Amino acid sequence: MASPTTSLRSAGWVSLCSLGQLALQFIFQVFLAKHFGASWEMDAYVASIAIPSVASAVLVGSLGYAFVPLFSQRLAEDRESAWRLAGSMATLLVVFSGAIAAGSFLFAEPLVALLCPGFAAERFDLAAGLLRIQSWLVVTNGLIAFLQSVYHCHRRFLLPAVASPLGIALTLSGAIVFRNSGMPAVAWSVLAGSAATAALTLPLFARNARLGFRLGAEVKQCLLLMLPLVCGAVYFRLDPLVDRYLTSMLPVGSVSHLGYAWRIATALLTITVGGLSVVAFPNFASHWTAGRHEEFRGEVAAAMRCVTAILAPIAFALLFFSKPLIGDLLERGEFTAVDTASVAWLLVLYLGMIVGAGVAEITAKVFYSLSDTRTPTWLGVGAFTVGLVLKITLTSRFGVSTVVAATSLYVALNAAAAVVLVVRRLGPGTFAGVGGTLRRSVLASLAAVLAAWPVVRVEMPFSSLAGAGCGAVVYFLVMRIQRDEFAYRMADYLVSFLRRENTSGGLSGEPAGRAAAMNPAADGVAARKKDDSSSGKKNGSPG
């Protein structure tokens, strides 16, 4: 049986692959910026991809969060019933995603007219054509997320982590080779990359399960858990469509600026919190379903401390250096200095969303591990309603900035409410040590900003990236000086990785005990030293 503790080694592999994925995504954004800038063509592309993205999020989010805890439990009890469940839910996913894709293909013009009423004829026709191509992303993206969750439940993280950057590499290659064919070639390349990623993650499912629907007890339970998620997601997942609707009536380029800022913000979340979240969810579910409630709380606390140590420096970096960062990455060809200033400002406004989404990523998985799908759904509905009212009433007056600021506000409110409810459900010890980690991380982030500032101001290519590297080193050193647990863990992990030693432990495993011993006053860490040391004897698997 795989280790029930979150493996730092596994999270490291996932984050390393996510780093490659992030690099390729940035190169793809550089390609789009150079050749299309913030033009009407780019507006059409950003608008057209919103519909399949939202549909995928509704289906996959609802299915995955209900499916993973049940599938993990069945794997431990009866593998045959687990794979029957997987086959039935995969069949439902293919049927419903295929129906949505076909509907989007057939009714592309009415959907674009409804989504983007401010588009003139040229933008409208291109957006409708691109939607016909990208409508099938509903199927491929849905399969990717589902098949990856199957691997994650088996504690096999490497293959799905590698598949994503390979798919993006195919997308980038196709876009570059067929760049003279315009934006339709980009859309076809995106679809091909998504299909390739799905194919690469198919083997485990294909070896153990088959498509086919059987309404057994497991399927009924999964559908009941999905019901509130689907009902809520149909409403609060509409946020990107609302944004496109409102920005389509603003000047040309507004949709593009929003799209660039959003993709950079979400890419940062993927490389930072994404790896941790992927590894944490099946382990949360495994702890809770096995009745290891103390270990569950310890794992949640460790994950939240890790998120805090990751998000604080990102927030400071974007607050002080977003403009030079965007300039170095995107400002070339059709992407002008005016576009740089606009996207950089929107990225700063997205800080609330980045921090809130990072925290909510962990708290939501806590609720899903408890088989509670109603609480996060109601939180999402309530928070999105606040954001929706603000966007509708203020966007026409203050422009695209209102859309971003309202998104940040409601995501942050959702995260804050989720933290309060988790504490009420599981007790204040669930987030033990987070306050201390935040204090140390803020001090280290300030030191990193001071160290990076003179480097960024030097007149040389990619000075912002050089400054980021300098700031990262200073951040790590200052965290180490403050005897922060994650500074010691990361050092231990890097040493073991370089020496090719299999010495990694869980997020709440042996390295945490070592860090606690070095810092016995570190906000409750030492209190769990005994439990952490015992759980640290087990090793995770990178996949």
* φ and ψ at residue 479, rounded to 5 degrees: -60, -40
Would you state the pLDDT for residue 125? Answer: 93
Which parts of the chain have pLDDT scores under 50?
1-8, 500-543
Q: Are 3 and 539 in contact (CB under 8 A)?
A: yes
Cα–Cα distance list, 457 to 341, 444, 450, 474 (Å): 16, 21, 12, 17
| CA gap 67, 61 in Å, rounded | 10
Cα 280 from Cα 273, distance rounded (Å): 10
Rounded CA-CA distance 290/76 in Å is 9
Task: Name the residue with tokens 């204040």.
Answer: 428
C-alpha closest to that of 538 among 154, 157, 72, 6: 6
Can you list the pairs that 208-215 forms with residues at least 24 positions away whose Cβ atoms lie under 8 Å? Answer: 208/83, 208/86, 209/83, 209/84, 209/86, 209/87, 209/90, 210/87, 211/87, 211/90, 211/91, 211/94, 212/87, 212/88, 212/91, 213/88, 213/91, 213/92, 214/84, 214/87, 214/88, 215/88
Dist CA 474 CA 137 (whole Å): 41
Number of residues that this document lists for the chain: 543
Question: What is the model's pLDDT at position 412?
Answer: 93
**Which tokens belong to 350?**
């997205």
CA distances from 164 to 92, 113, 171, 214, 276 (A): 23, 32, 11, 31, 16
pLDDT of residue 76: 77
Give the residue among 103, 66, 45, 54 at the shortest CA–CA distance from 368.
66
Task: Give the Cα separation of 155 and 279 in Å (integer).
Answer: 8
Sign, CA dihedral 536-70-145-2, equals positive
Indicate the angle between helix axes 217-236 and 374-398, nearest 10 degrees: 20
Q: Which residues of 220-229 are buried (b: 16+ CB within 10 A; e: fewer)?
A: eebbebbebb
- Provide CB contacts within 8 A for 447, sequence distance 6+: 474, 475, 478
Name, in order, each residue with C-beta under 8 angstroms of 71's C-beta and a sequence gap of 6 or more.
82, 85, 86, 149, 150, 153
- Its sign, for the CA torsion 361, 363, 364, 368, is positive
pLDDT of residue 417: 93
Question: Are 55 and 97 in contact, with CB atoms under 8 Å apart?
Answer: yes
| 3 state SS of 525 | coil
Please, what is the angle between helix 121-134 and helix 79-106, to 10°?
150
CA distance 175 to 227: 39
Global pTM?
0.71
Kindly report, residue by residue over 133-188, the tens digit of the pLDDT.
Answer: 999 999 999 899 888 888 878 877 778 878 888 999 999 999 999 988 999 999 99
Per DSSP, the residues of 492-516 read HHHHHHHTT-----BTTSHHHHHHH
- Its sign, for the CA torsion 107, 110, 114, 120, is positive
pLDDT of residue 512: 37
pLDDT tens digits, residue range 330-349?
888 889 999 999 999 999 99
Mark 137-156 as b/e (b = at least 16 C-beta within 10 Å). bbbbbbbbbbbbbbbbbbbb
Cα 433 from Cα 419, distance rounded (Å): 14
